[in-house]
C-alpha cells in the first residue's frame, strides 16, 4: 500500500510524515524538491500474541509506503507551478490513496497564505489542480482517438467510439468540478479503463491540520468537514501535526498518558491514517504463523484462498490444493495447539474459492 501525502506549501505535510513514519525530517519548508519516502510498519496486536505462542525466528508486519511531496508542486498556478505538479502527476496517480494535508492552524511563526488560512478553500484548490490534470490526460487521449478514427475498420470504429464516449462522460464529470472517485462506473466500463491511471480516481484521506488549542474539538471538526467533503471514497481526520509529531517520539505507554492529559483522541494519527487507508482501500489481513515466521498479509476484502496463497508466492496459487484455516481468536484460545484445534473442529479445510476473513490464519497445501 502506497500513500501519497500532498498539499499546499507549509500545510504541515512533512510534520505529518514524521508523525506517521516516526522519521525526523527537517520541517519548515526546507525539504527540497523531491518527495521524502518512508515505510511504516502496520501495528497489529495479533502478531505479538502469535509471537508469544510460536516463538518464531522473525515477525514481519504489513508495511505501508508513504511519500511526502514538496509543497512547491502546488506553489502557484503559473507555468512553473503547474510544471511542478506535472512532474509528479504520474507518481501520484500510481499511489493507492492520496492524503491531503490542509492547514487550519494559525501560527505567526509560519508564513500564512496571502489571503489567510482557509482549509476548505485549500481542499477545493487541490481538487481543482488534480482535476485539471485528469482532464488534460483525457483530452490528449480523445485527440489521439479522433485522429486514428479514419484509419480504423468499421468493426473497430464501434469500439473506439464507445471508448471515446466513456472518456467524454468522465471529462464532463471532471468539468463539473467532481473528482473521478465519485463517478459510478460499471464493471465493463472499469475494464475498458484498465491501463489508465487517473489521479482523482484514487481514494482520498483529508487530514485537517488544526490548532493545538482545538484538539479537544477534534470530533466536531471532523464531522463538520465530513458533511461537506466526505464520500464513500473520501475520509476526513483532524489533528494537530506538531503534537502528533511529538507523541510519535514517545514510548507507547507514555504516549497514552500524555494523549489523555492533553485531551487528544486516544488513537494516534499514525493508527488513524492506517485505519482510514485500510477502509478506503477495502483491505484487511490474513496471517501466517510458524517457527520460522509470523506475518501479516494485507489483501483486498473478498480475496479467495487461492488468490491469498498467490500473495505468499505465485507457486502457491498455481499449485494450490487446499487451505487449512483457523481464525486468530480460535488459535489464540487453543494457544496454537493443532491437536486441540482439530479435535474441536476449529481448523477447517477450505478450497480455492473460500473467501478469506480478517485474521484467518492460513496454511496452504500446494503441489507444483
Under the rule (CB under 5 A), what is the footprint of Mg ion? 13-14, 31
Residue of the chain from 6, 31, 35, 286 that contacts ligand GTP (CB under 6 A): 31
Provide, rounded to whole angstroms, the least separation between the CB of residue 300 and Mg ion: 31
* Span 96-155, contacts to ligand GTP by CB under 6 A: 105, 107, 110
SS3 45: helix
Name the residue nearer to ligand GTP (CB basis): 14 or 21: 14
Burial classification of residue 197, based on how many CB atoms lie within 10 Å of its CB (0-12 exposed, 13-18 middle, 19 or more buried) = middle
Cell of 57: 525466528
Provide, rounded to whole angstroms, the least separation between the CB of residue 193 and ligand GTP: 32
Instruction: Identify what 76 binds: Mg ion, ligand GTP, none; CB under 5 to 8 Å per kind.
Output: none
Provide, rounded to whole angstroms, the least separation between the CB of residue 13 and Mg ion: 5
- Count the residues in the chain: 368
Name the residue nearer to ligand GTP (CB basis): 8 or 166: 8
Provide, rounded to whole angstroms, the least separation between the CB of residue 207 and ligand GTP: 10
Specify the residue for cell string 517457527. Answer: 291
Provide, rounded to whole angstroms, the least separation between the CB of residue 10 and Mg ion: 8
Q: What angle do CA 22, 254, 3 make, to 5 degrees?
A: 25
Residue 27 interacts with ligand GTP (CB under 6 A)?
yes
Q: Cβ distance 25 to 36 under 8 Å?
A: yes
Q: How many residues bind ligand GTP (CB under 6 A)?
A: 22
Instruction: Identify what 218 binds: Mg ion, ligand GTP, none; CB under 5 to 8 Å per kind.
Output: none
Ranked by CB distance to ligand GTP, the top (closest) residue is 71
Residue 82 interacts with ligand GTP (CB under 6 A)?
no
Provide, rounded to whole angstroms, the least separation between the CB of residue 65 and Mg ion: 17
Residue 241 interacts with ligand GTP (CB under 6 A)?
yes
184: left (phi over 0), alpha (psi -120 to 50) or beta: beta
Provide, rounded to whole angstroms, the least separation between the CB of residue 239 and ligand GTP: 8
Strands in 283-288's sheet, in edge-to-edge order, are 58-60, 293-300, 283-288, 360-366, 320-327, 348-350
Residue 193 and residue 196: Cα distance in Å, rounded?
6
Cell of 227: 458533511
Instruction: Of 201, 165, 166, give the one whose Cα is nearest residue 180.
Output: 201
Residue of the chain from 6, 7, 360, 362 that contacts ligand GTP (CB under 6 A): 7
Using the rule CB under 6 A, give the single segment among 3-11, 215-223, 296-304, 325-333 that binds ligand GTP. 3-11
Residue 35 interacts with ligand GTP (CB under 6 A)?
no
DSSP 263: T
To the nearest 10°, the Cα dihedral for 53, 55, 57, 62? 30
* CB within 8 Å of 58: residues ≥ 6 apart: 292, 293, 294
Provide, rounded to whole angstroms, the least separation between the CB of residue 331 and ligand GTP: 42
* Span 57-76, contacts to ligand GTP by CB under 6 A: 70-71
Residue 2 and residue 272: Cα distance in Å, rounded?
16
Alpha-helical segments (H) within the chain: 13-21, 45-54, 79-94, 119-149, 154-175, 187-192, 218-229, 241-247, 252-262, 269-281, 305-312, 314-318, 328-333, 338-343
Residue 290 interacts with ligand GTP (CB under 6 A)?
no
Cell of 21: 513514519
Residue of the chain from 2, 9, 189, 324 that contacts ligand GTP (CB under 6 A): 9
Cell of 29: 519548508
Using the rule CB under 6 A, give the single segment among 11-19, 48-56, 229-237, 337-345 that binds ligand GTP. 11-19
Residue 276 interacts with ligand GTP (CB under 6 A)?
no
Using the rule CB under 6 A, give the single segment among 91-99, 135-143, 169-177, 235-243 that binds ligand GTP. 235-243
Give the footprint of ligand GTP on this chain (CB under 6 A).
Answer: 7, 9-15, 27-29, 31, 70-71, 105, 107, 110, 209, 212, 240-242
Amino acid at each position: 500500500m502506497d500513500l501519497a501525502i500532498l498539499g499546499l506549501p507549509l500545510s504541515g505535510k512533512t510534520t505529518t510524515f514524521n508523525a506517521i513514519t516516526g522519521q525526523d525530517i527537517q520541517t519548515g519548508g526546507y525539504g527540497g524538491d523531491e518527495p521524502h519516502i518512508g515505510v511504516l510498519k502496520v501495528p497489529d496486536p495479533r502478531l505479538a500474541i502469535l509471537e508469544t505462542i510460536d516463538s518464531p525466528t522473525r515477525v514481519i508486519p504489513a508495511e505501508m509506503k508513504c511519500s511526502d511531496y514538496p509543497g512547491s508542486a502546488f506553489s502557484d498556478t503559473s507555468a512553473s507551478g503547474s510544471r511542478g505538479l506535472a512532474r509528479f502527476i504520474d507518481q501520484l496517480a500510481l499511489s493507492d490513496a492520496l492524503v491531503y494535508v490542509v492547514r487550519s492552524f494559525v501560527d505567526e511563526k509560519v508564513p500564512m497564505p496571502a489571503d489567510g488560512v482557509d482549509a476548505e478553500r485549500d481542499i477545493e484548490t487541490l481538487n481543482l489542480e488534480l482535476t485539471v490534470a485528469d482532464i488534460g490526460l483525457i483530452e490528449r487521449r480523445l485527440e489521439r482517438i479522433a485522429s486514428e478514427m479514419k484509419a480504423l475498420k468499421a468493426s473497430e470504429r464501434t469500439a473506439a467510439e464507445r471508448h471515446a464516449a466513456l472518456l467524454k462522460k468522465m471529462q464532463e464529470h471532471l468539468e463539473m468540478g467532481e473528482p473521478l472517485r465519485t463517478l459510478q462506473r460499471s464493471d465493463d466500463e472499469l475494464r475498458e479503463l484498465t491501463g489508465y491511471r487517473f489521479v482523482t480516481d484514487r481514494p482520498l484521506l483529508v487530514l485537517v491540520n488544526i490548532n493545538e488549542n482545538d484538539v479537544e474539538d477534534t470530533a466536531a471538526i471532523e464531522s463538520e468537514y465530513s458533511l461537506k467533503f466526505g464520500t464513500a471514497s473520501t475520509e476526513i481526520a483532524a489533528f494537530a501535526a506538531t503534537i502528533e509529531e511529538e507523541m510519535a517520539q514517545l514510548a507507547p505507554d507514555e504516549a497514552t498518558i500524555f494523549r489523555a492529559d492533553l485531551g487528544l483522541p486516544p488513537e494516534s494519527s499514525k493508527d488513524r491514517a492506517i485505519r482510514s487507508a485500510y477502509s478506503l482501500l477495502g483491505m484487511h489481513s490474513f496471517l501466517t504463523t510458524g517457527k520460522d515466521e509470523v506475518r501479516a498479509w494485507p489483501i483486498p476484502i473478498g480475496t479467495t484462498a487461492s488468490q491469498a496463497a498467490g500473495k505468499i508466492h505465485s507457486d502457491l496459487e498455481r499449485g494450490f490444493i487446499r487451505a487449512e484455516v483457523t481464525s486468530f481468536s480460535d488459535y489464540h484460545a487453543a494457544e496454537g495447539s493443532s491437536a486441540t484445534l482439530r479435535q474441536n473442529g476449529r481448523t477447517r479445510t477450505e478450497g480455492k474459492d473460500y473467501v478469506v476473513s480478517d485474521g484467518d490464519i492460513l496454511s496452504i497445501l500446494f503441489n507444483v
